[in-house]
Amino acid sequence: MASINLIEAFQEFKEAENIDRPTMMKVVEDVFKTLLRKKFGSDENFDVIVNAEKGDLEIMRRRTIVEDGAVQDPLAEVAYSEAVRVAPDFEVGEELYEEVNILDFGRRAILAAKQTLASRISDLKKNVLVKKYGDRVGDIISAEVYQVWKKEILLLDEESNELILPKSEQIPQDYFKKGENTRAVVKKVELKNNSPVIILSRTSPSFLAKLLEIEVPEIFDGLIVIKKIVREPGERAKVAVESYDDRIDPVGACVGMKGSRIHGIVRELKNENIDVINWTNNVQLLIQRSLTPAKITSMELDNEKKQANVFLKPDQVSLAIGKKGVNIKLAQELTGYSIDVYRDTEGEPQEFDINLEEFSDEIETWIIDEFKRIGCDTARSVLDLTPEELERRTDLERETIDEVRKVLKEEFDKE
């Protein structure tokens, strides 16, 4: 019996674990029917039989036995005298089944079949991978670090599929070692040079959302909904949540007893500070909550321009701004409002002070705006901070800061 062992002859089969057997058998059948059409002109009277378990393949040729000299279609009919050579008890009208020897196709045709089959299986594997991860975009997966490069990390999932974690999608404090497992969210599936590339992320807000879903059963059950998440990866995140059950405190549920639920997430995110706040449609209240941990004294809102002027006690200004301006930046992203912070000195002994705008003839406007961005809108508020602190919190050069402080000091010396 002529047969071919596919597992030995076509090494690609061994790599096709993700392809279901019916699909695999159909591919093999199509490849060999193409061979039959090239050799005989038609595949109508041939049966390709694939034993997927053993990897065996047989091709059977089926023809009807007719009287000698009555053969009209050699592909579908065979003369009686030829049939009885195969088995003497055949009769006219019966079906003659003969096995086609694979080797009869010739070495070149078999090689072409192997290449076609390898190509088809490769395409199938790509389609399976695209579908698998296309359906899992937004889900957290755990994968093993296989290779650490400067611009990206290569990971392998449980089926040895390659996944990419770019540097831009890594938390700045992330450190990876080959062989360790790490968690990330599936961000997207791209096709590069006709090959699927699965991109992971640890900086996406959806990564934090999924971590919360895992840790907080009320979110998983839909009793608490995450309205919005904004992040500065590795630094700070703000999560606005709302409860659909009046008996459940959404913030308390997310944080957990003594922070038990949030601590694991903070560790996963390399000590990223996570502020969980109650969502509200009241813009003023939402802005107030978004500036946590600072406490606001008063606020002026311009809803048309989406602008908020916030007044705080001097000791609260730096809390509202946050390290490197992160807190106020996230508050603006969460609320959709541009927020300016001002020192509220009402009720305190008033020291002589001058608004920074008064120095616009000596200090460029963009420099004044940079100081105002961190809550320093008067000369004393600038001088109260050290040059090191101003350099850290603004985008200004030390030389510029020193020049501004010199101008401001000279004005007070005159007074």
Note whether 140 and 127 are same-domain residues. no
Note whether 366 and 401 are same-domain residues. yes
Note whether 23 and 62 are same-domain residues. yes
Q: Sorting pLDDT into bands at 50, 70 and 90, what band is 313?
A: confident
Q: Which of 131, 151, 183 is the last residue of a domain?
A: 131
Q: Is the pTM of this model over 0.85?
A: no
Domain that holds residue 153: 136-203
Strands 56-66 and 46-51, how do they pair? antiparallel
Note whether 42 and 140 are same-domain residues. no
Q: Which CATH number goes with the domain that contains 111?
A: 3.30.1480
Strands (E), 167-223: 181-192, 195-201
In terms of Cβ atoms closer than 10 Å to its own Cβ (0-12, 13-18, 19+), residue 29 is: middle
Note whether 156 and 117 are same-domain residues. no
Q: Which CATH number goes with the domain that contains 157?
A: 2.40.50.140
Note whether 181 and 93 are same-domain residues. no
The residue count of the chain comes to 415
Q: How many CB atoms lie within 10 A of CB 265?
A: 20
Q: Which residues of 355-388 are buried (b: 16+ CB within 10 A; e: fewer)?
A: ebeebeeebeeebbebbbbbbbbbbbbbbebeee
| CA 210/CA 32 separation, integer angstroms | 47
Which region holds residue 271: left if phi is over 0, alpha if psi is between -120 and 50, else beta? left
Q: Which of 203, 223, 251 is the last residue of a domain?
A: 203
pLDDT score recorded for residue 251: 94
Say if CB 268 and CB 211 are below 8 A apart. Answer: yes
162, pLDDT greater than 80:
yes
Q: Residue 47 falls within a domain, yes or no? A: yes
Note whether 10 and 110 are same-domain residues. yes
Q: Residue 226 falls within a domain, yes or no? A: no
| CA 317/CA 293 separation, integer angstroms | 10
Note whether 61 and 148 are same-domain residues. no
Note whether 72 and 127 are same-domain residues. yes
Q: Residue 335 falls within a domain, yes or no? A: no
Please name the residue that has the structure tokens 């009793």.
Answer: 223
Note whether 367 and 402 are same-domain residues. yes
Q: Residue 78 falls within a domain, yes or no? A: yes
Q: Residue 380 falls within a domain, yes or no? A: yes
Among the ranges given (84-93, 221-230, 240-249, 310-319), the one the predictor scored with the smallest mean pLDDT: 84-93
Q: How many domains does the chain have?
A: 3
Q: Residue 157 falls within a domain, yes or no? A: yes
Tell me the per-residue pLDDT of 10-37, one tens digit each, with 9 for 90 and over. 434 544 555 666 777 777 778 788 878 8
Note whether 101 and 9 are same-domain residues. yes
Tell me the per-residue pLDDT of 258-268, one tens digit each, with 9 for 90 and over. 889 999 999 99
Name which residue leads in pLDDT, 413 or 364.
Answer: 364
| CA 201/CA 166 separation, integer angstroms | 8
Tell me the per-residue pLDDT of 37-77, one tens digit each, with 9 for 90 and over. 887 777 787 877 776 566 567 788 888 888 887 878 888 78
Q: Residue 243 falls within a domain, yes or no? A: no
Q: Which of 184, 203, 222 is the last residue of a domain?
A: 203
Q: Residue 173 falls within a domain, yes or no? A: yes
